[in-house]
Amino acid sequence: MYGLRFETAAPPLRPDPNRVDVACFIGYVARRPGALPASVIDDLAAQRWLVRDTSAARGWVPGPWRTDSGEIEALLQVPVVVESWAAFDALFAWDARPVRADSSRRCSTYLGAAVRSFFGHGGRRAVIVRTGDPWPVLEAGGARAGARDNRLATLLAPESTAVDPTTWRGLGHLFGLPDVALVAMPDLADVCAADGETVDVAIEPPSSPEVFVECTDGGEHRVEEDVGLRDLAPPRCDEAGFYAWRNAIAAAGARFARHHREMQFVAALPLPRADVRSIAVSGTVWAQADFAAWLERAGILQAGVDDDPRGRPEAAFVQFGWPWVKTRHSSDLPSLLEPPDGLLTGLLARNALSRGTFRSVAGTPLPTVYGSEPVLSWSGVAESPSDRLAERACVVAPGADGWALRSDVSSSDVEPWRSGGVARLLGAILRAARRAGESALFEANGPALWSDVRRSLEQTLLAFWREGALGGASAEEAFTVRCDRSTMSQNDLDNGRVRAEIAVLPVSSVERITVVLELIGGGVALPAREVA
């Protein structure tokens, strides 16, 4: 297209280090052809992935962390910050995933769909880590299972270390992204899925008035209709795929618990194949009939074993989304379905900006959603499979008020850590405490420093209490901070470590109240018990 087009460049803004709405998306998407924009070059130069050099053909040369300029030009395994959907669309060919290797038919990538939902539901800032090009939706039999381990290793990057940026790949980039609070890998379920399939699509002949027509030879005229991508089945996991996905989630959760305690991992539960079941003495459980019970038997939602005396259990760092949804924008995906992790991440980001990350997003209306797979029955009071699953996953379901997010929980079975808002609150407190401690990093270790650290932490927690994140009628009831000789051993003092201990009283949102009534003499008595 010829002509002159003016675009308003967004001013470079340094994000607030305490903001908890920045999301990182890690996955497979192609790069659009073209030179890198100046804003991307500046951002990569600030992170030392490249160095500006006016004498070079591209205007830059690789930095100390990468030696291959082609990989940097392709934005392969480097973190790229985008502030809008338009910025993402300009850099990445999110809509160019091949359906078959030898076909010109295309669909959207799951990473692209997740980023689109993130910005569409209120997200403001995202970091994209491109791990490679997407594979075809329909591959040769067994090819997906054969490539599964390599694709998972590219996403998880277990060899990455905090002290060596040259090893940062996939999830390992989080070592250099302290501003990130939410993390998603939208391709994870697709990586672990069984071979892609096609499905029959019912085609109704067009209605037309009855009129006389010319005689024919008796042959039937085929009704042609554009089925879009409805003939492509969504990715579904068999038993082996579910176990691979479970192990990947466990590995990621362990990384967050060990190295990234300020962040929250958001993942979509995979769709099960029809033949996935669990056989036991107590009976057979089919995944499509009672997904919550099957997930417990498979060890994905473990019960009563993740209580960690040291603090948050690994499961509290993970929030699952379910089911897969049909939205106004998902017509470019197989079976018109998108995993809910992008939508959920966008809701959490918007909630952090507008209301506070500690507040629950349960009950948020979803006007862009019009269907799901599977369609869940939601009562809010009955002990149905959907209601039980909502205790461990963030469930999207229809109701009298339309489609909405019905729960906001972590995957932990331990009651104090089950609330999604509480899990995110602890991450926000750790982030603020880290920033407060960085200012005293080079001070002399002694009573004066301990007093400064204690006052700084008290001011930080006081701000959380005033915003309503902590309970208690007074600040003394809401939190306590200790930083003195009693919190540190001699070994800590000899090695220059300062240890502070805080205790907080989080406010947990009540998403459901169960009232048990006793029927006495034909009337209803006072509540026998109420459980929130």
pLDDT at 324: 98
* Res 226: pLDDT: 53
Paired tokens of 231: 């003939």
What is the DSSP pairing of strand 23-28 with strand 126-132?
parallel
Residues in the chain, total: 532
Angle CA 286–292–296, to nearest 5: 90
Contact 39, 83 (CB under 8 A): no
Amino acid at 151: R
For tokens 């959380």, name the residue. Answer: 464
Residue 392 · residue 411 · CB < 8 Å: yes
Distance CA 219, CA 92 (A): 48
**What Å distances lie between residue 184 and 1, 266, 429, CA to CA?**
36, 5, 21
Count of Cβ atoms closer than 10 Å to residue 454 Cβ: 17
Upstream peptide bond of 64 is cis (omega within 30 degrees of 0): no
pLDDT of 225 = 46
Fold of 23-36+75-198+230-354: Rossmann fold (3.40.50)
Question: What pLDDT is recorded for position 220?
Answer: 47
* Contact by Cβ (8 Å): 312, 421: no
Burial class for 13, CB neighbours closer than 10 Å (0-12, 13-18, 19+): exposed
Give the start-end residues of each E strand in 13-112. 23-28, 30-31, 50-52, 60-62, 79-82, 92-93, 97-98, 106-107
- CA-CA distance, 260 to 417, in Å (whole number)? 17
Non-local (6+) Cβ contacts of 288 within 8 A are 272, 274, 276, 374
What is the location of CATH 3.40.50 in the chain? Answer: 23-36+75-198+230-354
At residue 112, the pLDDT reads: 98
Q: What is the pLDDT along the chain (532 residues), one digit of tens a residue?
A: 456 766 555 555 566 777 899 999 999 999 999 999 999 999 999 999 999 998 998 899 999 999 899 999 999 999 999 999 999 999 999 999 999 998 899 999 999 999 999 999 999 999 999 999 999 999 998 899 999 999 999 999 999 999 999 999 999 999 999 999 999 999 999 999 999 888 877 665 555 566 665 665 554 444 444 567 888 999 999 999 999 999 999 999 999 999 999 999 999 999 999 999 988 767 888 999 999 999 999 888 876 555 555 577 899 999 999 999 999 999 999 999 999 999 999 999 999 999 999 999 999 999 999 999 998 877 655 577 888 899 999 999 998 889 999 999 999 988 888 899 999 999 999 998 888 777 777 788 888 988 998 999 999 999 999 999 999 999 999 999 998 999 888 888 888 888 888 899 998 765 554 444 444 544 444 444 434 4
> Alpha-carbon distance 360 to 465, whole Å?
16
Structure token pair of residue 283? 């009976």
Can you read off the two tokens belonging to residue 151?
């694709």
* Per-residue tokens: 173: 């980039």
- Report d(CA 59, CA 72) in Å as an integer: 13
**Residue 215: per-residue pLDDT:** 63
CA distance 89 to 78: 17
The number of helices, as runs of H, and strands, as runs of E, in the chain is: 15, 24
pLDDT number for residue 197: 85
- Cα–Cα distance between 325 and 470 in angstroms, integer? 34
The pLDDT score that the predictor gives to residue 379 is 64
Please identify which residue in the block is written with the tokens 């082996």: 240
